[in-house]
Amino acid sequence: MRTNLDPDDLGDRRFYRFLTAVVVPRPIAWVSTTSPDGVDNLAPHSFFNVACARPPIVQFSSVGRKDTLRNVEASGEFVVNLAPEPLRREVNATATDFPPEIGEFDAVGLERAASAVVAPPRVAGSPVALECRLHSTLRLGDSTVVFGRVVHASIDSDMFVDGHPEITRLRPLSRLGGDEWGTVGEVDELHRIRYADWDGAFGAGRTSR
């Protein structure tokens, strides 16, 4: 038996709650921006992903018009900071609906660090910063998708193992449904199968996890 849901019947609010509970876990872009008045803003966005690898473009969605979106539109720049597990309470606190003149770095007591090529600062305590220039925006219903070209990236060198960012050191937070947060659980490696190796690589008698 399956329960079938029609978005139109359920209504916007309830379908939003359903959708965000099943599109999980979502990575969190902790987005820093600077307002035209010089206020450094910071807010988590879990409607976030890589939009394109070549060139590197990331995307996040602003549901409604918020300080982050207004600042990005005005300055054309933002930084995506990785939201790390040890800063869980701080990440959540930066989602408070502060008025535009209050900067979340100051309100929450988070240290800034200068970015390398864009004006908005990065979060000093975050292991990864993706410095972005606005590529484009796309209006979708009540939301605006922001696409940013990554023009510079920096990472805490301690995150590297054998030249690769190590997930158990990055400890990224994720967003689940409602007020739920996730952390990285068991990590497994499974190599992709090339078609040339298909015969015998995924045949009868083999089990997959």
Ligand X SMILES: Cc1cc2nc3c(=O)[nH]c(=O)nc-3n(C[C@H](O)[C@H](O)[C@H](O)COP(=O)(O)O)c2cc1C
- Tell me the CA distances in angstroms from 160 to 166, 186, 207, one per residue in order: 6, 19, 33
Residue number with CB closer to ligand X (106 or 166): 106
Choose which of 56, 73, 92, 152 interacts with ligand X (CB under 6 A): 92
Choose which of 40, 67, 90, 131 interacts with ligand X (CB under 6 A): 67
8 Å CB contact between 171 and 86: yes
Q: How many CB atoms lie within 10 A of CB 143?
A: 15
Q: HSE of 15 in the Cβ direction (CA atoms, 13 Å)?
A: 9
CB of 177 to ligand X, least distance (A): 11
| Number of residues near ligand X (by CB under 6 A) | 17
CB of 56 to ligand X, least distance (A): 20
Could you say which residues in the range 172-191 bind ligand X, by CB under 6 A? 175
Site string for ligand X, 122-161 (x = CB under 6 A): ----------------------------------------
Backbone Cα Rg of the chain = 19
Site string for ligand X, 19-58 (x = CB under 6 A): ---------x------------x-xxxxx-----------
Contact between 68 and ligand X (CB under 6 A)? yes
| Amino acid at residue number 50 | V
Residue number with CB closer to ligand X (166 or 180): 180
Contact between 63 and ligand X (CB under 6 A)? yes
Nearest-angstrom CA–CA distance, 146 and 61? 6
Q: How many CB atoms lie within 10 A of CB 154?
A: 17
C-alpha distance across the termini of the chain, in Å: 24
CB of 103 to ligand X, least distance (A): 9
Nearest-angstrom CA–CA distance, 206 and 209? 10
| Amino acid at residue number 136 | S
Return residues touching ligand X (CB under 6 A). 28, 41, 43-47, 61-63, 66-68, 92, 95, 97, 175
